[in-house]
Amino acid sequence: MYKRSGIFLLLIGISIFFVPNVTASDNSCIDCHKTISPFIEIQKQFNQIRVEHLEKNVTCSLECHEDRVRQLATANYQQWSESVHALKGVTCENCHGGDPKIADKAGAHKEMTKRTDLESPVYYTNVPATCGKCHSKELQNFQGSKHYQKLEALKLAPTCTTCHAPHRFTLLDPEEFRNFCGNCHSVYKKVAPYDIPVKAEYLMGGVNKLKFNIDMVNNDIFLAKKNGTDVSQAQKHADNALGTLGNLAVLWHEFNLTHFETELDKGNAEIKRAQDIVKPVETSPIKTKAKDTPGFTGIIMLISMAAVLFLIRRNRD
């Protein structure tokens, strides 16, 4: 038994030392950054706080700090590796520059500039142009927004990485918009309109509802077609709604909520038309009115009349 365990451990050791890790081929950015420690100074401070809390037997489970600690203690490489960019093969040099073919740090970073440099592709005012190399439609819509105009004037304004966190690039959930937009649009910051955070959350919730309704109506179309119903027109409306949904993600970058709501309403109208075809409102059958039957009061009156007639006849006898 011990001999078999020893052989098993030996095989594991051989696999660790001799089986190479899967990485992007010939990309020094990936090879290097995956080995960098995720713990910078502020992250170490957070971890030290956790240790001190545990040593003092503090009952707090640190749920209030958990998200912040997790975010700070996650390496840029790990965030990127779990992103859509990683799946699409968009690597470090696409945004930061540098030469991924050179293995040593100095050579790989030679053509790079610090992100605080005005010429850096990831300097906050240059981020839209950097992202726009791939996301051209989003950039075009963003350039027509007031946000972009303020950004061009070097004023405080959101850029791409304000909403799409660097290296993770995730989309916001509807409930997150209130906090993100509220960082500027609030009575405290005096940036109007103040209702933008609530309206943005509402509209993003509407987008999710439209997605759900499209799935539901396509399911209804499938069942109706199976039953021999002509669903060609319904499918056309459903496809129109799907096309509208696809355009909403790009349109959002205009930050024109009125226009966005108009387009969202168009998508919902198309779904309603499709639903009316495959699931028409059932009309209830006309119910014949029941014959009126004497109620309690009527019965009492009949009994009273019968009693009176009985007394009159009895007196005659």
191 and 158 in contact (C-beta within 8 Å)?
Answer: no
Length of the chain: 317
Q: pLDDT per residue over 145-157, tens digit each?
A: 999 998 988 777 8
Would you say the pTM of this structure is higher than 0.85? no
pLDDT tens digits, the chain, 317 residues: what are they?
Answer: 544 555 544 444 544 444 344 445 578 787 777 666 555 565 566 666 666 666 666 555 444 555 555 555 567 788 888 888 988 889 989 999 999 888 888 888 888 888 889 899 999 999 999 999 999 999 999 999 999 998 988 777 889 988 888 888 888 888 888 888 888 898 888 888 999 999 999 999 999 999 999 999 999 999 999 999 999 999 999 999 999 999 999 999 999 999 999 999 999 999 999 999 998 655 445 555 555 555 556 666 666 676 666 666 666 65
> What are the b/e assignments for 131-147, b being 16+ CB within 10 Å?
bbeebeebbebbbebeb
Q: pLDDT per residue over 177-217, tens digit each?
A: 888 888 889 888 888 899 999 999 999 999 999 999 999 99
81 and 88 in contact (C-beta within 8 Å)?
Answer: no
Residue with tokens 């997150």: 176
**Per-domain residue ranges for the chain?**
196-278
Helices and strands (H and E) in the chain: how many: 17, 0
Residue with tokens 């037997």: 57
Residue with tokens 């933008």: 196
